[in-house]
């Protein structure tokens, strides 16, 4: 993920001009005869011809305020047992995300608000975001409160109605729906999708599903019929990044309602190869040609500056004279609707490099596979994720796909990103991981994979989580600048006032500072085991090889490692600093002569599942004796002595900075034969949620190295929470 500077700026973003004087779309046909396929590429301009912050947007936020939105949204951590309550609820964080959106809008944008519970309410009509209206809107956002049921249907209808008789040209219109549960009130009997077909939609519909109790197949289908995007938000740590990317994509739109028409001889049986989706068409006879010619209509939706849309098609029985025609229609925001036409013989030699052919073919295979896990119900138009009993053949199918891709061994950046998502070493390989066990698939995989399919099929960067989607939008200066501005706003705006009351064991109300950056991603502070740790001798060894008794270099001189704790985790955000350090977002490191969180400076991110390691050095009153060099950077270790959370030093922590408490807790853990202590995570006080000790492990000492404990191949980590 491209990170921001540490200050918000309202200055205009000056973007590079296009090569040449035109601001037109490119349309190309790339035949791939070797695989009976072709690629139709739509290429918008890289950037606007004039500098701007973002394109004008009309956004209606449709927010679930049912009772479940009052659930706790604790500060994100890798282990559920380590959660610290701070009084924030899911609705509190949703309101903060809404304030973030509001912060980046100006008088050229409009914002409307709708809430839904037992009934839907229009909180605010579509209003231009002047300073006066922004102040009033902020008050309305802050006043949102939870109610009872989940009447999603009426929420959608009210969102659509806000645009009636109030549409405008030269702006991007979108309805953005967030819900954390199952619709349970006033659902249309014939189904949402058949009912929505009767409505003229004013713009895209984007859906966001929070948590694990959502009807993700329905949310995906609603987004598809609305030519928008569906995103899965598994926990509080993903709210920030998902909303930020969704708005950044809107704000970097070049054109809307783009459609592609493909005309070809009927015997070719031209078909779109991205899996099934609501609104997908098959080629049909075109009366204007004759029965021997067919037409395939594809709705593309919005086009973003700097991001191509590459439509992968398959065909049968081409001959030397087989010709295909492509017609593109689109509506640029700054000019009338435009159209263009191109044709090509299918057996012409293609102009794509082999690596690009492989990339789009296997992007298509991934889309088809992900789509097959949640087929469409032909009656109600809703995706229905398959049950766990149907997974075994799908696991075999995925293994076969991976084996075939590996044999090709492409080494370019785009194909490497596909491999990382398919089978990469943790923290990558999320596609394989999502269906690897019934438990993973049933809890989060079935929701996540639908979201990933959307990102791959529509070539949308929907978060900083996955390598494949991170390739989309990376060449768009406007998208990047919009994302960075939203990023800054989310982290830097005053934190929300907690709605839930937190009390300590004596019944006293506890007030705790909230750092919103922790809700922008999910992490515990740790390093990848492949990173080099500097020893006393100056030599470096992998973190995974560190054991008690080894002497490491510190700024205060040589110090021995006293304890190493191994903990298994499921989900860890990692920052890549330079080319040598992989570290979690909130583990303090020394950078440019100051202690900072990696999340503030990282240029790229990834995700981790597996074992992590915590290190405790010999006791010393010198703080510098509790830091070591990893991957070329200084980082703190456990028990460093800084415990005052109000000090402003990013290293401080009341428990993990207290050497005696940490050592005493670690010594209660079972010890394996290689000297490593095995932990199941952190325990916390019931009322306050404050960390109080390590939890003992459940695995008996069988002589196995801790890297063998996980369900999947393990990249070992050194870990401590600061």
* Segment 369-379 mean pLDDT: 96
Q: Supply the pLDDT for residue 611.
A: 67
Q: How far apart are CA 270 and CA 650, in angstroms?
A: 58
Q: How far apart are CA 204 and CA 508, in angstroms?
A: 47
CB–CB of 574/718 below 8 Å? no
- Terminal C-alpha separation, the chain: 22
The span from the CA of 441 to the CA of 435, in Å, is: 5
User: What tokens were used for 400?
Assistant: 């076969």
Residue 388, Ramachandran bin (φ over 0: left; ψ between -120 and 50: alpha; else beta): alpha
Beta bridge partners of 551: 560
Mean pLDDT of the 111-124 span: 95
Joined tokens for residue 339: 């159209």
Angle between helices 477-492 and 90-103 in degrees, nearest 10:
130
Classify 373 as helix, strand or coil: coil
Query: For the chain, what percent of residues have pLDDT higher than 90?
Result: 52
CA 210, CA 533: separation in Å to the nearest integer?
39
pLDDT per position as a tens digit, 428-438:
789 999 999 99
Left if phi > 0, otherwise alpha if psi is -120 to 50, otherwise beta: which for 242? Answer: alpha
Opening angle at CA 442, ends 437 and 443, nearest 5: 105
And the tokens for 213?
């109790």
264 compared with 656, residue with greater pLDDT: 264
Average pLDDT (545-569) is 88
Tracing tokens 């085991």 back to the chain, one arrives at 529
pLDDT at 414 over 70: yes
Instruction: Go through the chain and tell me how many residues it has.
Output: 722
Confidence class of residue 11 from pLDDT cuts 50, 70 and 90?
A: very low
Q: Other C-beta atoms within 10 Å of 244: how many?
A: 28
User: What are 132-156's pLDDT values in tens digits?
Assistant: 999 999 999 999 999 888 899 999 9
Question: Which of these, 162, 171, 155, 258, lies nearest to 208 by C-alpha position?
Answer: 155
- Say if residue 648 is exposed, middle or buried (CB neighbours under 10 Å; 0-12, 13-18, 19+): exposed
Q: What is the tens place of the pLDDT at every residue in 484-523?
A: 888 888 777 776 676 654 444 444 444 454 455 544 433 3
Q: Tell me, what's the pLDDT at 448?
A: 95
What single DSSP character describes residue 546? -
- CA 25 to CA 42: how far, in whole Å? 7
Structure tokens at 103: 């912060």
| Cα–Cα dist 84/79, whole Å | 11
Quote the pLDDT of residue 181. 75
Q: Which residue's structure tokens are 């009084």?
A: 87
The tokens describing 100, both together, are: 């973030």
Q: How far is CA 144 from CA 117, 475, 571, in A?
A: 12, 38, 31
| pLDDT higher than threshold 50 for residue 476 | yes
Distances from the Cα of 441 to the Cα of 249, 320, 446, angstroms: 29, 47, 5
Burial (CB count within 10 angstroms: exposed 0-12, middle 13-18, buried 19+), residue 447: buried
- Alpha-helical (H) ranges within 226-327 are 239-251
Residue-averaged pLDDT of the chain: 82
Q: Give the residue from 224, 257, 262, 158 showing the smallest Cα distance to 371.
A: 224
17 has a pLDDT exceeding 70:
no
Q: How many CB atoms lie within 10 A of CB 3?
A: 20
Is the alpha carbon torsion for 629, 631, 633, 636 positive or negative? negative
> Strand, coil or helix: what is 362?
helix
Separation of CA 584 from chain center: 16
- Is 700 a residue whose pLDDT tops 70? no
pLDDT at 342: 95
Encode burial over 496-517: b for 16+ CB neighbours within 10 A, e otherwise: bebbeebeeeeeeebebebebb
Radius of gyration of the chain (CA): 26
Q: What is the DSSP letter of 383?
A: B
Would you say 94 and 78 are in contact if contact means Cβ atoms under 8 Å apart?
A: no
For residues 692 and 597, the answer to whether their CB atoms sit within 8 Å is no
- The mean per-residue pLDDT over the stretch 216-226 comes to 97
Residue 59 gets the label, from left (phi > 0), alpha (psi -120 to 50) or beta, of: beta
Cβ-based neighbours of 393, under 8 Å, separated by 6 or more:
none
**What's CA 283's distance to the chain center, in Å?**
34
Q: What is the pLDDT of residue 319?
A: 83
The Cα–Cα gap between 657 and 211 comes to 32
Contacts of 615 (CB under 8 A, 6+ apart): 546, 561, 563, 564, 565, 628, 637, 638, 718, 720
- In the chain, DSSP finds a helix count (H) and a strand count (E) of 14, 29
Per the structure block, which two tokens stand in for 249? Answer: 């994509």
For the segment 301-357, what is each residue's pLDDT rounded down to a tens digit? 999 999 999 999 999 988 888 899 999 999 999 889 999 999 999 888 778 999 999
Q: What is the mean pLDDT of residues 85-114?
A: 87
At residue 274, does pLDDT exceed 90?
Answer: yes
Domains, the chain, with CATH or none: 26-49+254-351 (2.60.40.10), 523-719 (2.170.16.10)
Is 703 within 8 Å of 673 (Cβ atoms)?
A: yes
CA 179 to CA 123: how far, in whole Å? 17
The three-state secondary structure class of 332 is strand
Q: Above 60 in pLDDT, residue 1?
A: no
> In the predicted model, what is the mean pLDDT of residues 177-195?
88
Across 239-257, average pLDDT: 93
Give, to the nearest 10 degrees, the angle between helix 391-408 and helix 413-423. Answer: 150
CB 473 within 8 A of CB 480: yes
In whole angstroms, what separates CA 427 from the centre of its chain? 14
Q: Of all residues in the chain, what percent carry a pLDDT higher than 70?
A: 81
* SS percent in the chain: helix, strand, coil, step 5: 30, 30, 45
What span, in angstroms and rounded, lies between the C-alpha atoms of 628 and 648?
21
Query: CA–CA distance from 492 to each of 470, 503, 556, 645 (Å)?
Result: 24, 27, 35, 19
Instruction: Give Cα separations from 59 to 110, 416, 426 (angstroms).
Output: 6, 36, 37
Secondary element (H or E) of residue 294: strand 290-304
Gap between the Cα atoms of 555 and 545, Å rounded: 21
Residue whose entry in the numeric block shows the structure tokens 């202590």: 677
């Amino acid at each position: 993920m491209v990170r921001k500077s540490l200050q918000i700026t309202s200055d205009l973003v000056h973007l590079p001009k296009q090569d040449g004087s035109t601001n037109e779309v490119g349309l190309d046909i790339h035949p791939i005869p070797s695989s009976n396929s072709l690629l139709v590429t739509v290429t918008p301009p890289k950037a606007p011809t004039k500098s701007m912050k973002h394109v004008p947007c009309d956004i209606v936020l449709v927010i679930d305020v049912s009772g479940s939105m009052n659930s706790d949204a604790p500060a994100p951590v890798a282990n559920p047992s380590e959660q610290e309550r701070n009084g924030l609820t899911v609705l509190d964080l949703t309101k903060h995300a809404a304030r973030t959106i509001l912060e980046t809008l100006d008088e050229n944008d409009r914002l409307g608000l709708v809430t839904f519970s037992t009934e839907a309410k229009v909180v605010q009509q579509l209003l231009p975001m002047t300073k006066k209206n922004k102040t009033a809107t902020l008050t309305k956002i802050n006043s949102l409160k939870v109610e009872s049921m989940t009447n999603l249907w009426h929420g959608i209808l009210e969102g659509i109605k806000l645009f009636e008789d109030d549409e405008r040209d030269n702006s991007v219109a979108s309805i953005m729906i967030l819900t954390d549960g199952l619709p349970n009130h006033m659902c249309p009997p014939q189904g949402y999708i058949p009912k929505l077909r009767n409505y003229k939609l004013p713009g895209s519909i984007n859906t966001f599903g929070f948590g694990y109790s959502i009807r993700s197949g329905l949310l995906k289908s609603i987004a598809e019929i609305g030519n928008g995007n569906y995103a899965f938000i598994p926990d509080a740590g993903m709210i920030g990044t998902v909303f930020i990317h969704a708005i950044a994509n809107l704000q970097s739109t070049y054109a809307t309602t783009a459609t592609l028409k493909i005309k070809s001889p009927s015997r070719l049986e031209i078909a779109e190869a991205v899996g099934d989706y609501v609104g997908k068409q098959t080629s049909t006879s075109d009366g204007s040609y004759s029965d021997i010619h067919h037409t395939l209509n594809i709705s593309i939706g919005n086009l973003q500056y700097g991001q191509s849309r590459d439509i992968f098609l398959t065909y049968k029985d081409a001959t030397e004279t087989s010709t295909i025609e492509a017609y593109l229609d689109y509506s640029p925001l700054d000019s009338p609707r435009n159209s263009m036409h191109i044709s090509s013989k299918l057996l012409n030699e293609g102009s794509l490099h082999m690596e690009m052919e492989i990339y789009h073919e296997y992007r298509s295979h991934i889309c088809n596979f992900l789509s097959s896990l949640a087929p469409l119900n032909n009656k109600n138009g809703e995706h229905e994720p398959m049950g766990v009993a149907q997974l075994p053949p799908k696991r075999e199918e995925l293994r076969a796909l991976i084996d075939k891709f590996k044999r090709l061994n492409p080494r370019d950046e785009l194909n490497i990103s596909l491999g990382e998502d398919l089978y990469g070493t943790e923290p990558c390989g999320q596609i394989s991981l999502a269906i690897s066990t019934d438990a993973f698939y049933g809890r989060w995989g079935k929701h996540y994979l639908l979201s990933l399919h959307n990102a791959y099929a529509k070539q949308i960067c929907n978060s900083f989580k996955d390598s494949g989607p991170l390739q989309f939008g990376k060449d768009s200066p406007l998208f990047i600048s919009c994302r960075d501005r939203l990023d800054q706003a989310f982290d830097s705006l005053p934190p929300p006032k907690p709605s839930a009351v937190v009390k300590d064991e004596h019944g006293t109300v506890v007030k705790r500072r909230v750092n919103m950056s922790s809700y922008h991603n999910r992490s515990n502070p740790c390093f990848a085991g492949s990173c080099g740790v500097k020893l006393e001798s100056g030599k470096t060894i992998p973190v995974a090889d560190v054991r008690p008794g080894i002497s490491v270099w510190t700024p205060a001189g040589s110090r021995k490692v006293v304890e190493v704790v191994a903990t298994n985790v499921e989900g860890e955000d990692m920052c890549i600093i330079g080319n040598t350090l992989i570290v979690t977002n909130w583990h303090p490191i020394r950078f440019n002569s100051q202690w900072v969180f990696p999340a503030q400076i990282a240029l790229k991110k990834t995700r981790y599942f597996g074992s992590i390691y915590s290190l405790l050095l010999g006791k010393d009153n010198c703080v510098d004796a509790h830091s070591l060099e990893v991957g070329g950077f200084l980082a703190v270790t456990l028990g460093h002595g800084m415990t005052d959370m109000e000090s402003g030093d990013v290293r401080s922590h009341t428990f993990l900075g207290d050497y005696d408490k940490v050592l005493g807790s670690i010594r209660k853990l079972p010890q394996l034969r290689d000297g490593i202590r095995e932990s199941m995570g952190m325990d916390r006080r019931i009322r306050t949620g404050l960390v109080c000790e390590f939890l003992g492990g459940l695995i008996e000492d069988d002589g196995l190295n801790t890297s063998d404990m996980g369900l999947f191949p393990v990249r070992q980590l050194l870990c401590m929470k600061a």
